[in-house]
Amino acid sequence: NPAPFSISALSTSLARGECSAETVVSDMLQRCEHHRGLHALIAQDPKQVLSAAQAADRRRRAGKRLGPLHGVP
């Protein structure tokens, strides 16, 4: 469960392959839905966010050099 991670710890976990960007994003989207009543988001595009996460995971698996926040929502 990536939720309790700081951004730094999450970035490290992604780089080590301990979690995937898609898993992190899925968790984030579930939390956003669960807390919808807070009205903290103006807009969100779950399909686009999941697509970007999947692309980040593909690039990471292919061994591409990624920035430290690549895959962090």
Average pLDDT over residues 32-52: 87
The pTM is what?
A: 0.81
CB-based contact 73:49 (threshold 8 Å): yes
pLDDT band with cut points at 50, 70 and 90 for residue 39: confident
The rounded radius of gyration (Å) of the Cα atoms in the chain is 13
Which helix (H) or strand (E) is 5 found in, with range?
none
